[in-house]
């Protein structure tokens, strides 16, 4: 049964499009399709969309889960031709043009947009899935925050010996996490947990390359590394993780780093269930596509975001997902009207990462770079601008400045 039953014969002639995934790519595809008049069903296993770039703030208790999430039904309600559905996809049946869900129900489609994103890639490191905590979803961030808060309380009460944190992976997420944790350790924890001795806590960042933030220019990498060291982060660069144990991270050179909490900020891959969908897959399990972002043998199926295996790979960041989502939405509308499809062309606006208070690095596509306070302010306002909902934008902006310029005892005020 169509979710648009009862809307009349005119609506029934519009293309039925299912968009699976309410991330950057899925939301932008839905917006384009909605404006073009398609009948859209937005499907996600969660009833909300998550703003992933700020998950590290949730994990370090600077923001609540509601600040970085937005109900997909509220998003869908902006257009009369969009419906939202909470469901997890179990099967994609291309020959039947049908999607089936884990609850046994299903929907038929004229066009399908897959924007499910990816999941944590443990890179076959022994002990990593069992002993490390990822930071890819809202539930991941909340679980990490609870673990940190619980361990700090136990250490202060004498029930634990220490709360040492090891962050694996020095991309933007790992650098942001390590920098924020180090600031909390140095400035906030001595006030909120005066029972702790300095040697009972530490923050270590492990990276297999000899530098942090590999996509950036050397001067920005060096600036970020120096900013981390100033905040008390121990950098283990050029180090490969051999295994993750319940209380340590073992490196291939035989070094054993004490770790009460291991944060896995390294590697992503396509969800395992994608292999059951009968679609061609390439590196990392991503779906192999044409340059128009549709499947070669099933041109009515489009893929956008991190799951997209287009001929020219792109970084797994928000901007590529946003642009792919918009492109896919427009191509579905073009196909529905019999117009030729256009290849996807990415417009690189640049990349940025924050290290901590008043410290960030920014690299534009034209080669221009920026660091320090100006880059940090740009980072904040760019991220706030992309949040969904005015309430979230106001809350996040207040939380940012309260966390970094308010009383130090309030820097980890979020408990739920």
pLDDT in tens, 220-277: 999 999 999 999 999 999 999 999 999 999 999 999 999 999 999 987 888 888 888 8
**pLDDT band at 410, cuts 50/70/90?**
low
How many helices, marked H, and strands, marked E, lie in the chain?
12, 26
142 and 260 share a domain?
yes
Flag whether 348 is in a domain: no
Report the alpha-carbon distance of residue 33 to residue 329 in Å, rounded: 5
209 and 285 share a domain?
no
Q: How many other CB atoms are found less than 10 A from the CB of residue 326? A: 17
Q: In the predicted model, what is the mean pLDDT of residues 80-93?
A: 96
260 and 275 share a domain?
no
Q: Distance between terminal CA atoms of the chain?
A: 39
- Helix, strand, coil percentages, rounded to 5, for the chain: 40, 25, 35
185 and 139 share a domain?
yes
Considering only CA atoms, which of 192, 190, 202 is closest in space to residue 231?
202
Report the alpha-carbon distance of residue 178 to residue 258 in Å, rounded: 16
**Per-residue pLDDT reduced to its tens digit, 20-29:** 999 999 999 9
Residue 130 CA from chain centroid, whole number: 21
Flag whether 162 is in a domain: yes
pLDDT of 394 over the 80 cut:
yes
Report the alpha-carbon distance of residue 329 to residue 177 in Å, rounded: 34
Q: Six-digit token pair at 314?
A: 């792109």
Question: Residue 106: helix, strand or coil by DSSP?
Answer: strand
Considering only CA atoms, which of 82, 75, 70 is closest in space to residue 113?
82
298 and 162 share a domain?
no
Considering only CA atoms, which of 364, 368, 362 is closest in space to residue 347?
364
Of 231, 250, 266, the domain-final residue: 266
Of 336, 364, 381, the domain-final residue: 336
Considering only CA atoms, which of 84, 47, 97, 30 is closest in space to residue 322?
30
Flag whether 211 is in a domain: yes
How many independent structural domains does the chain possess? 2
DSSP assignment letter at 234? E
Question: Which residue segment(s) compose the domain that 283 sits in?
Answer: 16-118+270-336
236 and 154 share a domain?
yes
Flag whether 145 is in a domain: yes
Listed range (154-158, 356-360, 381-385) with the worst mean pLDDT = 381-385
**Per-residue pLDDT reduced to its tens digit, 94-107:** 999 999 999 999 99
pLDDT of 346 over the 90 cut:
yes
129 and 242 share a domain?
yes
88 and 130 share a domain?
no
Of 301, 319, 336, the domain-final residue: 336
Question: Residue 319: helix, strand or coil by DSSP?
Answer: helix
Q: Torsion over CA of 279, 282, 288 and 293, rounded to 10 degrees?
A: 130
In degrees, rounded to 5, the angle at the alpha carbon of residue 54 between the alpha carbons of residues 60 and 262 is: 45
341 Cβ neighbours under 8 A, 6+ residues apart: 290, 292, 294, 299, 331, 334, 335
Flag whether 382 is in a domain: no
pLDDT of 285 over the 80 cut:
yes
Flag whether 367 is in a domain: no
- Helix (H) or strand (E) holding 356, with range, is strand 351-356
Q: Please state, for a pLDDT cut of 70, what percent of the chain lies above it.
A: 94
Flag whether 72 is in a domain: yes
Report the alpha-carbon distance of residue 179 to residue 184 in Å, rounded: 9
Flag whether 280 is in a domain: yes
Scanning the structure block, which residue is given the tokens 């283990």? Answer: 236
Report the alpha-carbon distance of residue 281 to residue 138 in Å, rounded: 27
Yes or no: say if 178 and 135 are a contact pair by the CB < 8 Å rule. Answer: no
72 and 131 share a domain?
no
pTM of this prediction?
Answer: 0.89
Report the alpha-carbon distance of residue 119 to residue 113 in Å, rounded: 18
The CATH number covering residue 114 comes to: 3.50.50.60
Report the alpha-carbon distance of residue 220 to residue 374 in Å, rounded: 14
Query: How do strand 287-288 and strand 308-309 relate by DSSP bridges?
Result: parallel
Q: Six-digit token pair at 220?
A: 């920005």
96 and 133 share a domain?
no
Ramachandran angles phi, psi of 35, nearest 5°? -65, -30
Report the alpha-carbon distance of residue 284 to residue 121 in Å, rounded: 9
85 and 210 share a domain?
no
25 and 97 share a domain?
yes
| C-alpha distances in Å from residue 210, one per residue of 122, 170, 230, 301 | 21, 10, 18, 41
């Amino acid at each position: 049964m169509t979710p648009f039953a009862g809307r009349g014969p005119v609506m029934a002639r519009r293309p039925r499009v299912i968009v699976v995934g309410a991330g950057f790519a899925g939301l932008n595809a839905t917006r384009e399709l909605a404006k073009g008049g398609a009948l859209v069903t937005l499907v996600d296993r969660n009833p909300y969309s998550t703003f992933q770039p700020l998950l590290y703030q949730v994990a370090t208790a600077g923001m609540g889960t509601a600040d970085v999430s937005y109900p997909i039904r509220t998003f869908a309600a902006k257009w009369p031709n969009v419906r939202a559905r909470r469901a997890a996809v179990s099967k994609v049946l291309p020959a039947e043009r049908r999607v089936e869900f884990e609850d046994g129900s299903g929907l038929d489609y004229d066009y399908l947009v897959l924007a499910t994103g990816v999941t944590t890639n443990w890179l076959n490191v022994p002990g990593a899935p069992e002993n490390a905590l990822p930071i890819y979803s809202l539930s991941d961030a909340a679980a990490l925050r609870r673990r940190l808060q619980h361990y700090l309380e136990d250490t202060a009460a004498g029930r634990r010996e220490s709360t040492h944190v090891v962050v694996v992976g020095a991309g933007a997420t790992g650098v942001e996490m390590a920098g924020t944790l180090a600031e909390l350790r140095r400035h906030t924890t001595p006030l909120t947990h005066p029972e702790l001795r300095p040697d009972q806590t530490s923050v270590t960042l492990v990276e297999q390359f000899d530098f942090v933030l590999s996509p950036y220019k050397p001067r920005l990498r060096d600036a970020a590394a120096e900013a981390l060291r100033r905040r008390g982060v121990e950098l283990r660069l050029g180090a490969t993780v051999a295994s993750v144990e319940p209380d340590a991270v073992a490196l291939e050179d035989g070094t054993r780093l004490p770790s009460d909490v291991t944060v896995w900020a390294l590697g992503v891959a396509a969800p395992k269930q994608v292999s059951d969908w009968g679609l061609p897959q390439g590196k990392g399990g991503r779906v192999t596509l044409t340059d128009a972002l549709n499947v070669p043998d099933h041109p009515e199926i489009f893929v956008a975001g991190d799951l997209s295996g287009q001929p020219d790979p792109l970084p797994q960041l928000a901007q590529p997902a946003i642009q792919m989502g918009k492109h896919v939405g427009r191509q579905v509308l073009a196909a529905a009207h019999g117009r030729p499809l256009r290849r996807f062309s990415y417009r690189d606006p640049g990349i940025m990462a924050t290290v901590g208070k008043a410290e960030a690095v920014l690299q534009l596509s034209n080669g221009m770079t920026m660091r320090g306070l100006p880059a940090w302010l740009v980072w904040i306002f760019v991220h706030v601008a992309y949040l969904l909902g005015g309430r979230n934008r106001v809350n996040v902006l207040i939380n940012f400045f309260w966390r970094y310029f308010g009383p130090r005892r309030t820097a980890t005020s979020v408990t739920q």
